Amino acid sequence: MLTKVKMPLPDMMAAVLAMDETVLDIDQIENLVRFCPTKEEMELLENYTGDKETLGKCEKFFLELMKVPRVKSKLKVFSYKIHFNTQVKELKESLEVVKSACKEVKGSEKLKEIMKRILYLGNILNEGTEKGKAQGFNLESLLKLSDTRAVNGKITLMHYLCKVIADKKVDLLDFHKELGSLELASKIQFNLLDGEMKEGLEKANLELTASKTDGPVSEVFHEKLNEFITTAGDELKTVKRFYSDVKKDVDLLARYFGEDPTSCPFEQVTATLLDFIRLFKKAHDENVKQADLEKKKHDNEAKMEKGKRRQLGRSHSMS
């Protein structure tokens, strides 16, 4: 494992304690984290009474690392610092995607028209009952359209819905094109975004407090870490405000469909809508294929009937 360490360890540790990203890259830092001795290994080396010069290369490597108090913690904090700007950028991008998806869904006039038609169909089917006076429906009902048979029992409500739309309002068939951010947004665990960066900063603060009493060995590290935490804290406050704004959009999206945001999280809303789009497209494609088959069948029957009449005409002329 030591073949991955390309510079003298004292120089490497000096760069770690100076949090110098110009000397060490993230791969080197993460290799050092993996190579850190375990608690048991450190205890064995601390209690070793023999000549330490006779120890193997690995043990000497561990001894060098152990000169730095809580070396693994410091390495992880350094790794967090290196990753910080990239993680903040990715977090902001994820929030932008979620915000766009909420705006697109709520702003889609075509989706709204399809929802109205679904509600109308449900009320027609349940006419004469309490369900026939519904003002809305929950999200899960969208997926049940593929399992519920229409009045004639031959096709599902989803197939019937697609047929009605294709016949009377064909421009609604491509409603999914108004929801361009939905699929990407569905891959984001929104509720986890809030704690993603906070955990790393909390660990950095713990190490800042601990390193204050390390003595001269950690003086530069403590100073550099303090500077980073101040800057990172300000940046995360900005991200936190952005997250809070997007959280409002997420909650409003759930309420837009009559759902409680606490029991119907963003991931459930997006997954349900994507499933609905998939089932809608599938039903429409099947309708088109069925219509083509019926047309071919009708054309073949007409052709055969025409052939019969022609043959009958020849028979009459011969007689």
Nearest 10 degrees: Cα torsion 85, 83, 230, 192: 90
Task: Write the CB contacts of 37 (distance below 8 Å, at least 6 apart in sequence).
Answer: 45, 62, 65, 66
Share of the chain above pLDDT 70, in %: 89
pLDDT at 271 exceeding the cut of 70: yes
Q: pLDDT, tens digit, for every residue of 128-151? A: 455 445 445 678 888 888 887 766
Measure the CA angle with vertex 231, ends 228 and 236; round to 5°.
115
Helix (H, G, I), strand (E, B) or coil at 108: coil
Burial 222-258 (b: 16+ CB within 10 A, else e): bebbeebbeebeeebeebeeebeebbebbbebbeebe
| The predicted structure's pLDDT at residue 288 | 94
Instruction: Report the largest interatomic distance among the alpha carbons of the chain, rounded to a whole angstrom.
Output: 125
Q: pLDDT, tens digit, for every residue of 14-59? A: 999 999 999 988 988 998 898 898 899 999 998 887 888 888 888 8
Task: Write the CB contacts of 164 (distance below 8 Å, at least 6 apart in sequence).
Answer: 117
What is the rounded average pLDDT for all residues in the chain?
Answer: 87
| The predicted structure's pLDDT at residue 49 | 79
Q: pLDDT, tens digit, for every residue of 83-95? A: 999 999 999 999 9
| The predicted structure's pLDDT at residue 78 | 95
Residue 153 zone, left/alpha/beta (φ > 0; ψ -120 to 50; rest): left
Task: Write the CB contacts of 165 (distance below 8 Å, at least 6 apart in sequence).
Answer: 114, 117, 172, 173
Average pLDDT over residues 274-283: 95
| The predicted structure's pLDDT at residue 48 | 82
| The predicted structure's pLDDT at residue 134 | 42
Helical H segments across the chain, by residue range: 9-17, 26-35, 39-46, 57-65, 71-107, 109-125, 140-144, 157-168, 182-186, 190-211, 219-256, 266-318
Q: In whole angstroms, what is the distance from residue 205 CA to residue 185 CA?
A: 32
Helices 71-107, 26-35: inter-axial angle, 10-degree rounding? 120
Q: pLDDT, tens digit, for every residue of 93-117? A: 999 999 999 999 999 999 999 998 8
* Domain boundaries, given as residue ranges, for the chain: 2-35+68-100+184-256
| The predicted structure's pLDDT at residue 2 | 54
| The predicted structure's pLDDT at residue 299 | 74
pLDDT at 1 exceeding the cut of 70: no
| The predicted structure's pLDDT at residue 79 | 94
Return the CATH architecture of domain 2-35+68-100+184-256: Up-down Bundle (1.20)
Q: pLDDT, tens digit, for every residue of 221-251? A: 999 999 999 999 999 999 999 999 999 999 9
pLDDT at 127 exceeding the cut of 80: no
Share of the chain above pLDDT 90, in %: 56
